Structure 1
Amino acid sequence: MLTMDQVLQRARPVLPVLVIEDVGLAVDLALALKAGGIEVLEVTLRTPGALDALQAIRQAVPDLLVGAGTVIHAEQFSEARDAGAQFAVSPGCTERLAAAADDSGLPYLPAVMTPSEVLLALEYGYRSLKLFPANGATSVKMLKSFKGPFTGIRFCPTGGITPDNLLSFLRLPNVACVGGTWIAPENLVKARAWDQITQLAAEARDIVSTLERRP
């Protein structure tokens, strides 16, 4: 059975966070990201056609891992699962969401921001967490401070990640990957600028491969 830790390992360095307005563009977007080396996608449930877009990607590009993001209602877990989602991500962590995630059987990445929220997520059994929002240098310092008391916890910082601060996060030993919207910005998706999206994805992977080749 797929675990959230395995999802994040495969997603490294970047888990694209996608807001898909036009379902008809979903598959081409996924293929553009795949061409840039991306293996895992998060389709946010912020648009009316999000579940249809997720389903279309799963059917057309079955070797990608595709999850549902911005899950804020308990019923969305089963809806996402039925659409083909392979994991779920939310911008927070509550008892009701944790119970719904467990019932759905989906690997779940809840978000935290404070030590108390990390402790709550740990009580529910989660050891892979989303840090949201990730506010640049402040969040880098926070993750460094989390390393001591929260041994073995892996984070995916999201919300504020850019090519300029990407490495600051990925250098941290407790960061598995980062989530980002910059790889597939709305203007490029609407323009069907698939080559540019592929290039953005490839550039992110190249940055990290340089880092990981260092002794």
Structure 2
Amino acid sequence: MSIIDRIGAARLLPVVVLERAEDAVPLARALLAGGLDVAEVTFRSDAAEESIARIAREVPQMLIGAGTVLTPGQVDQAVNAGAKFLVTPGYNPAVVAQAAACGVPIVPGVNNPTGVETAMSAGLSLVKFFPAGPSGGVPFIKALMGPYGAMRFIPTGGISAANLKDYLALKAVLACGGSWMVEPALIRAGAFDRITELTAEAVALARSA
């Protein structure tokens, strides 16, 4: 199964912010216990690179990616640490090109037709729709599905248990990115059992969509 297919099979992509690298492995194991074997660790903290490396090394069954990748240098850092895919908040041609040079799948962020066409011109067929809620949510994705029938989306930003099924009901949505099951406060508190519970609930919800 390809990396993109694994994300699609999961239907959920947890967006994880790790402030301490020592939380990385317990977090990954909590997600696995809840039924998710894919996650995105964002480059929003200094612990991101080491966190990805620890998960890649100690929890190899987890498909780990890097998010909030903003520069070609961060592409190299993420890939060298063991990230198997990359996610960006916007479309940066230099970042997309560096990912291609490294042979790693990238899911760039877009929120308008121009962004979709820019991704298409680079040979991409999967983008992150971000920020999903403020950008128009489900109705906006439905509007994009008309002219861009071959494009798939991972909506992220404003996704919750309350609206997850609405997004996943759209044929164009491969998976949804979300952080409600991996809130930084839960990680900070070491509440990994609670993360497992929330993840299991989210997985059950996604599978019923």
Same fold (TM > 0.5) = yes
* SS state at 1:183 partner: helix
CA distance in 2, matches of 1:125, 1:7: 20
* SS state at 2:167 partner: helix
In the alignment, which of 127, 130, 135 is matched to residue 133 of structure 2? 135
In the other structure, the counterpart of 2:149 is 151
- Per-residue CA deviation, residues 59-103 of structure 1 (Å, 9 max, x unaligned), is 111011000100001111111111011011101112211211111
CA distance in 1, matches of 2:6, 2:48: 20
RMSD (Å) for aligned C-alpha atoms: 1.5
CA distance in 2, matches of 1:10, 1:81: 23
In the alignment, which of 53, 56, 64 is matched to residue 54 of structure 2? 56
TM-score normalised to the size of structure 2?
A: 0.96
CA distance in 2, matches of 1:132, 1:71: 14
* SS state at 1:43 partner: strand
In the other structure, the counterpart of 2:202 is 204
CA distance in 2, matches of 1:28, 1:189: 9
| Paired residues of 1:113 and 1:132 also in contact (CA < 8 A) | yes
Match runs of 1:49-198 below 5 Å: 49-135=47-133, 138-198=136-196
| Paired residues of 2:64 and 2:84 also in contact (CA < 8 A) | yes
CA distance in 2, matches of 1:185, 1:46: 14
- Per-residue CA deviation, residues 22-68 of structure 1 (Å, 9 max, x unaligned), is 11111001100110001111000111111000000111110110001
Amino acid at match of 1:133: P
In the other structure, the counterpart of 2:7 is 8
Structure 1: state its 5+ residue gaps: none
Shift of residue 138, structure 1, vs aligned partner:
2.5
| Paired residues of 1:10 and 1:40 also in contact (CA < 8 A) | no
CA distance in 1, matches of 2:168, 2:80: 33
| Paired residues of 2:111 and 2:135 also in contact (CA < 8 A) | no
CA distance in 2, matches of 1:54, 1:8: 17
Which one is further off, 131-140 or 47-56?
131-140
| Paired residues of 2:41 and 2:52 also in contact (CA < 8 A) | yes
CA distance in 1, matches of 2:15, 2:8: 16
Distance 1:2 1:210, change over 3 A: closer
CA distance in 2, matches of 1:136, 1:96: 26
Shift of residue 136, structure 1, vs aligned partner:
6.6
CA distance in 2, matches of 1:18, 1:158: 12
Shift of residue 113, structure 1, vs aligned partner:
0.3
Count residues with an aligned counterpart. Answer: 209
* SS state at 1:71 partner: coil
| Paired residues of 1:136 and 1:161 also in contact (CA < 8 A) | no
CA distance in 2, matches of 1:205, 1:183: 10
Shift of residue 153, structure 1, vs aligned partner:
1.0
Greater than 6 Å deviation, 4+ residue runs: none
Shift of residue 146, structure 1, vs aligned partner:
1.1
Shift of residue 148, structure 1, vs aligned partner:
1.2
